[in-house]
Amino acid sequence: MANTYIEMETLKFLLFNVHDLKGVLQQERFSEYDEESINMMLDSVKDFSDKEMYPYYKEMDENPAHFKDGEIIVHPQVTKYMKAGGEMGFLSGSFSYEAGGMQMPSMVVNASAFIQEAANNHLPGYIGLTVGAAELIEHFGNQSLKDTYVPKMMAGEWGGTMCLTEPQAGSSLSDIVTTAFPNGDSYKISGQKIFISGGDYKGAENIVHLVLARIKGAPAGTKGISLFVVPKNRLDDHGNLEDNNVTTVGDFQKMGQKGYCTTHLFFGDKEDCSGWLVGEPNKGLKYMFLMMNGARIAVGRGAAAIATGAYHASLNYAKERPQGRELQKTGKKDASQEQTMIINHPDVRRMLLLQKVITEGALSLVFLTSRYQDLSQSLPDAESREKYKLLLEILTPVVKTYPSEMGITSINNGVQVLGGYGFCSDYILQQYLRDIRISAIYEGTTGIQSQDLLGRKVTMENGKALQLLSEEIMNSIEESMAYETLRPLAEKLGSKLELTQKVLKSLMGYAKEGDYQRFLADATPFMEFFSTIVVAWQWLDIGREAQKAMISGDASFNAEFYENKIHAMQFYFKYELPKTTGLAEVLMDKQSLTLNTEKQVFA
């Protein structure tokens, strides 16, 4: 079945019915948009993705980006996509009108990107990092940097990256050694960076690198890190591009996302690499986190999209693959019957439903955080903006992690639906599984996100963000209690909020004693516990909106659509939410089995 990598009805239901995009569009910042214009735009993105992205998905895996004769060779569709992205507003959508952008809500920008990523996740990263780099320059750069780089990047003529990781430092940014030497109104940059996605490729006129480095003599640790614009090609005195001594020395061949190049870069091996300071010295990591937080949401969105494409691929297969006979209530099978489609087997249906609740729950979480981002920027009063900023802060590590980790689980079940064929390269499921695996590593691993959630976000401002989130969930529970069919599920979710308080009370005891190593040792199980509850909340909202629409006779979607959402909600509450009971037992167990001690546990 062609182009069945996404269900647009579900996307629009989540946007408008569950997460009230209309309310966001009523804010002055977004007042030039309405439901009709948004739907037309999303439909045009789907049409573009059908024609220019989805058909190249398998091809880009089979013909990966690679290093040859000093440059990165990518699929020709990459350059075409960047150009089209500039023309269609994929790069300028989130920028303000003053910056030359389209000033779209984050909800809409992420919906557009989700469609593209579900079609072909190898392409959107080139645009995503370019947008993030341009946003950093726009937010913190001087007018000269803005004028020089942002228009070209928004047009898709120049690409962009963020360069953090170094061979000896990995995720430990306090250990980076790339150095910036003052040189008049610029700096000489010297060092190397690895794992730079979209770092260079043939066909790009220029790549604008946002590089973390230390100005010579700066303090040690993260306090001494500054941010620099370091283009592959700099402008000479006549406005022409000339080489800036940024050298691609190799690439990384990956298990998935092979069409999305990942490079190893040297800066200044001939001592002629110029960089320009962004903002103030020694504040680079603070600035970079603006881009990293957006990138973390984007990683979660991309993972949700990859899992969605895989879900539809396995669903299509299950509808078309005949195998075996249905087991009758007597426990017997009638061999004289024709073979049944495997979608009729209960265990296959269980795996498909698991895929459905993970993917749609993850997408709902992406739109929720996008909504919080929009409201934190557009509401007229400062107190309300601060509320949504805190809600966004506590959910950012969750929206990055749940789709990434559970997306792997989802696609793994999709491979299982196909049986032996799922393990063969003839079918696309194995590619989706390889592609999504990086999501749990991109922009801070699951362990890093989990420590951020428990160690920083849960405790920030004396627990205010957690309190606000609890209030949001309680509001949903109270609203759902008005529906008899939803009341038992609402009560279950309420009991899980109480369980969360017990778990946190147990864990916070270690923090109060000053034993932070023990406090954070089980941060990853806590992430799984916490995110499972948050997504249950999403499904309660989805089910309630479907129930409400059926009662009111809303014909925006047919009755079967609404019934499917309610059935999926019930599945999540039966099969997924109970897992938190076991996780709570793990989290409140007093044993310390993973801390480094003198005991030789790995002998």
* DSSP H/E element including 49: helix 35-52
- Domain membership of residue 406 (yes or no) is no
C-alpha torsion sign, points 572, 573, 574, 580: positive
Catalytic residue among 135, 443, 528, 545: 443
- Domain membership of residue 568 (yes or no) is yes
Tell me, rounded to whole angstroms, the distance of Cα 382 from its chain centroid: 28
- Domain membership of residue 510 (yes or no) is yes
**Strand, coil or helix: what is 247?**
strand
Q: What is the pLDDT of residues 416-460, one digit of tens each?
A: 999 999 999 999 999 999 999 999 999 889 999 999 999 999 999
Structural domain range at position 566: 445-591
Q: What is the pTM of this model?
A: 0.95
Backbone angles phi, psi at 381, to 5 degrees: -105, 145
Q: Are 171 and 219 in contact (CB under 8 A)?
A: no
Query: Domain tally for the chain?
Result: 1
- Domain membership of residue 36 (yes or no) is no
- The reported pLDDT for the residue numbered 502 is 98
Token reading at 173: 């940014």
Burial 50-72 (b: 16+ CB within 10 A, else e): bebbbebbeebbeebbebeeeeb
- Domain membership of residue 415 (yes or no) is no
Q: Are 518 and 592 in contact (CB under 8 A)?
A: yes
Extract the residue ranges of the chain whose pLDDT is less than 70.
Answer: 1-3
* DSSP H/E element including 193: strand 186-197
- The reported pLDDT for the residue numbered 2 is 52
Please tell me the distance from the alpha carbon of residue 419 to that of residue 436, in angstroms, as a whole number. 19
Tell me, rounded to whole angstroms, the distance of Cα 165 from its chain centroid: 19
- Domain membership of residue 452 (yes or no) is yes
- Domain membership of residue 208 (yes or no) is no
Token reading at 579: 């897992």
Please tell me the distance from the alpha carbon of residue 313 to that of residue 331, in angstroms, as a whole number. 30
Please tell me the distance from the alpha carbon of residue 415 to that of residue 430, in angstroms, as a whole number. 7
Q: Are 413 and 355 in contact (CB under 8 A)?
A: yes
- Domain membership of residue 511 (yes or no) is yes
3-class DSSP string for 480-524: HCCCCCCHHHHHHHHHHHHHHHHHHHHHHHHHHCCCHHHHHHCHH
Nearest-5° Cα angle at 358, 354 to 359? 115
* DSSP H/E element including 145: helix 143-154
24: phi > 0 → left, psi -120 to 50 → alpha, else beta; which? alpha
Please tell me the distance from the alpha carbon of residue 222 to that of residue 1, in angstroms, as a whole number. 51
Backbone angles phi, psi at 374, to 5 degrees: -60, -45
Confirm whether 443 is a catalytic residue.
yes
